[in-house]
Amino acid sequence: MLPARRARAVRSVPDLPEPDVLDLALRGDEPPAVVGYLASGRSLGAAATSTLLDLAARGHLELRQPGGDPRQTTVHLTTDAAPYATPDAATHAQPADPVPTGLMPYERRVLARLREVAVDGMVPLGALAFRDADRAGAWATAFTDEVMADARARGLAPAGNDVTARWLDLRAHLRDDEAFARLPPSAVAVWGRYLAYGAALGVNRACQAVIDFGLGHRGRVWSCYGGGWHQVRVRYPAARARYGLGVTPLLLVGAAWLVLGCTVLRCGVALATAWPQAGAAADRVSAGLTALGAGLFGFGAYWVLRTVLDLVAPRRLVGEVLWLAGWKHRGAAGAAVPIVHYLAVDAGSGDRTTAWALPSGGAAVCAPGDVVELTVRPWSRRVIRLARREARSLHGAPAPAGSTDGTPAPAC
């Protein structure tokens, strides 16, 4: 009879095939990450995925799929996993004496990543991806070094051909089962460590598609702001003419439209006045120019009015930083410095948002995961003031050095 914890996971994934009786003990005691490193020609593409599945198979966490889509799978930390310490925020190094013992450093690293993003012990699989490229790269490098160190300690780095052959034999066996490649992560409740080794050997594609410890997608970001996990779709409107512009450039653009409208309008009126008997064709041209000039003038007046309203009636909002990335840069391609950043914020008002334009002076105040207070101009979507309310930085880089909660950025 299945334990209650495993039975809950199995009920959420109906009609799972039963695993064949394969004796993993006869193949070796190498962890899935090391097996993937050996079997893939020293590549570590699926090592983190297989490690997560192996931890679930060994009871350190649970994977639950409430519906038919594997992307809805959530990770739940068990009581045994709760005491795991997180790596150092600056160096990403593991604590000297992590508890409990018995896990490899890269396994503790995966659990630490789960703990730093989990809310009340739960996190969607999609939220494991990082929101900062540097942090994602540092995590992957440290994880890779720890797996290779384990392989060397086992004497498998320079040699290991016999060990590799045994695991490749398992890969050939698992490939004969077409259903195995489609098993979702929650199937680990039935398949146990076989699913972890299948992911390490590149056999299970479904798990690799939904488990990602790399850099996340900036257009679809998971957030827990406002209570409960939800995915927010973010739009980055670089093509908008007014997007991110300050008041002076906006007024200059509006004035240019007004001048152009007046010029065209005067041409139309002048044509009608100078040649009153020029005929129907000239009348149509005059009417067209007049209408065009009036339209251009009206657009310029609208542009100036919205700019003024943006200036006198800014908006204030509070939310979680979903994404922070450079948009406009200055300098050569190799040494370009961002002068305007995209700032995507979840204010808890829905599952869609549009990124704000943040001048570079405010980018050093916050990091992804922080809760910030913004003063913005809604029409141009320009941030004019930013203050960090809560330094969480759970999904991106560590909190910026020298910035404190409530400290505002300079006016932008």
Mean pLDDT for each 10-residue chunk of the chain (412 residues)? 44 46 65 88 80 94 90 84 44 45 89 90 92 90 93 79 82 84 92 91 88 91 88 88 91 95 87 67 80 93 95 94 87 72 91 92 83 94 92 53 40 36
The b-or-e profile of 300-330 (16+ CB within 10 A means b, else e) is: beebbebbeebbeebeeeebbbbbbbebbee
Fold of 314-390: OB fold (Dihydrolipoamide Acetyltransferase, E2P) (2.40.50)
For the chain, the domains span: 4-216, 247-312, 314-390
Report the distance separating Cα 277 and Cα 371, nearest Å. 69
Q: What is residue 364's three-state secondary structure? A: coil
pLDDT at 162: 79
Half-sphere exposure of 408 (CA within 13 A, CB side): 10
pLDDT at 328: 82
pLDDT at 179: 86
This prediction's pTM: 0.79
Residues 6+ apart with CB under 8 A from 152: none
Token pair belonging to 87: 């790596």
Angle among Cα 263, 265, 268 to the nearest 5 degrees reads 110
Give the gyration radius of the chain's Cα atoms. 29
Residues 6+ apart with CB under 8 A from 319: 225, 345, 346, 347, 348, 371, 372, 374
204 burial (CB, 10 Å; 0-12 / 13-18 / 19+) is: buried
Residues 6+ apart with CB under 8 A from 215: 129, 130, 131, 132, 133, 136
pLDDT at 84: 41
Give, rounded to a whole angstrom, the gap between the first and last alpha carbons of the chain.
Answer: 64
